[in-house]
Amino acid sequence: MNVLITGGAGFIGAHLTRALLERGESVAVLDNLSTGTIENIRLFAQHPLYSFAIDDVRNALVLDRLASEADAIVHLAAAVGVQLVVERPTETIETNVLGTHAVLTAAGRYRCRTLLASTSEVYGKGVKVPFAEEDDLLLGSSSRSRWSYAASKLLDEFLGLAAYREYGLPVTVVRFFNTVGPGQTGRYGMVVPRFVRAALRNQPIPVFGDGKQSRCFCHVRDTVRAVVDLLISPEGTSGQIYNIGSSQEVTIHELAQTVIDRTESQSPIEYIPYSEAYAPGFEDMRRRVPDTTKLHAAIGWATRYTLNQILDDVIEYERPLMVDAI
């Protein structure tokens, strides 16, 4: 299978590239390196089944050439991270919506199997936990740039499912819930690498808000395994939405304390109001827990990594980097 990964130089994209190459699939990556990095994909540079193009997913000529050689497209390219979304909402909306439109246009031209990466953010301020794919969605006011990301990814989903219904394009939507693991940057507000790096330096661990908000963290290897299985098992999964995430819920305060314990750190926990961390009026969700019953029924998927295993993997990856930085 020839697979095109947009945003393939990013965190999830690099792990997905490795998994597909190990299966013997051919992988082409398209990434403008706005958030992805060359370091993420340097190891693949000489692989005979790998190719890389530095360009924006909205470049129709480049995207058309790559799509014409692909059997399947995994569309990961997007604006990522709460901090980026709050600071640059225009870029967020344009990158997500116009990028997805471009991918679906190219995929439709060559009938490529397409997986669209969406996000748990689309559930917004919903209070029905766990979140299931057919639940109603509740977003905040459009005056809060915080919700521009959720709205743009939701529109991506509508575009993808419309292409399936109207044109028969084999499109599947996956909603990621807090995918983490070794190699993830903390540059855009990603909480686990930020906490681990602070703990390894014995620096204060910054917890935004009161720390009682809870999340479920999924190892990137579990996430990638789900994506690969959906990619190679299209029967009955086209035109569907699937949650991908762990059901092991933890508060952000508990996460910070667990990081301290597992790194044997002397770091204190420092609470920072959302208004100082992001912007006045910032809204956050108290709980975000996925229902993965549908995914399990489709491909037999379940998580294999616990939170402690995830943190240990991240700590093992980050510790030598801290030594090298001294």
Catalytically active residues are 149
Q: Give the residue from 28, 31, 21, 22 showing the smallest Cα distance to 4.
A: 28
HEC sequence for the chain: CEEEEECCCCHHHHHHHHHHHHCCCEEEEEECCCCCCHHHHHHHCCCCCEEEEECCCCCHHHHHHHHHCCCEEEECCCCCCHHHHHHCHHHHHHHHHHHHHHHHHHHHHHCCEEEEEEEHHHHECCCCCCECCCCCCECCCCCCHHHHHHHHHHHHHHHHHHHHHHHCCCEEEEEECCEECCCCCCCCCCHHHHHHHHHHCCCCEEEECCCCCEEECEEHHHHHHHHHHHHHCCCCCCCCEEEECCCCEEEHHHHHHHHHHHHCCCCCEEEECHHHHCCCCCCCCCCCCECCHHHHHHHCCCCCCCHHHHHHHHHHHHHHHHHHHC
The rounded distance, in Å, linking the Cα atoms of 228 and 27 is 12
Q: Regarding beta strands 26-31 and 2-6, do their DSSP bridges make them parallel or antiparallel, or are they unpaired?
A: parallel
